[in-house]
Amino acid sequence: MQIPLVAGVGFGSTLLSAFDDALRDCGVLNYNLIPLSSVIPPATEIVPLDRYTSAEDEHGHRLYVVKAEMRSDHAGKAIGAGIGWYQWGDGRGVFVEHEAIGSTREAVRTELDYRICHSLRDLCAARDVPFEVQHVRSKVTLVDVEDQPTCALVLAVYQAEAWG
């Protein structure tokens, strides 16, 4: 199994429309997102992509995702969202998703890296899996909030599925 990992940012006149614009930026604008928790099945490859490529006939389909999302309209702040993952020998593993707001992108990135690493360590400990920080992987998106509502979004995309 392959799980594409995409990130995007969006802007709009409201926080909701900024989120919708971030969905567009990720390539998943016309799906109904179904949130999942954090478990990666065995024999899975995580594939970071710039954008998810969807089929035209999937408008309105369910899209199963792990999602990190941060929205803000506080001008002068930086926001970020990130998904981290840790896999063991057979490809199974765990995702963690975090969001942060701060005074600079660097501060937000530092906070996200800290949260992702420590959450993954805890999730591995709960599963009796040895943890080595050098095996932590992540995808983070950062953006400055200026004069309009803004959204940072990262998605791990499992599968699209039609209704009925």
Q: Which of 32, 103, 106, 161 is catalytic?
A: 32
Tell me how far apart the alpha carbons of residues 69 and 103 are, in angstroms, rounded to a whole number: 18
Active site residue 17: no
Active site residue 38: yes
Q: Which of 69, 72, 97, 99 is catalytic?
A: 97
Tell me how far apart the alpha carbons of residues 93 and 51 are, in angstroms, rounded to a whole number: 23
Residue whose entry in the numeric block shows the structure tokens 């995007």: 8
Tell me how far apart the alpha carbons of residues 55 and 160 are, in angstroms, rounded to a whole number: 10
User: CB neighbours (10 Å) of residue 11?
Assistant: 17
- Strand pairing category for 45-48 and 2-11: parallel
Active site residue 119: no
Q: Which of 17, 30, 38, 111 is catalytic?
A: 38
Q: Which residues pair with 42 in a beta bridge?
A: none
Active site residue 97: yes
Which residues are part of the catalytic machinery?
A: 32, 37-38, 97
